[in-house]
Amino acid sequence: MPIFSYRCPACGEMFEELVRSHEEEVPCPKCGKKAERVWSGCMYSATGKPPKKCSGNCSTCPGCH
pLDDT tens digits for range 6-54: 999 999 999 999 988 878 899 999 999 999 998 765 555 566 665 566 6
| Among 8, 24, 13, CA closest to 58 | 24
CA dist list (Å): 39 to 25, 36, 60: 15, 9, 14
Q: What is the pTM of this model?
A: 0.59
Neighbouring CB atoms inside 10 A of 3's CB total: 8
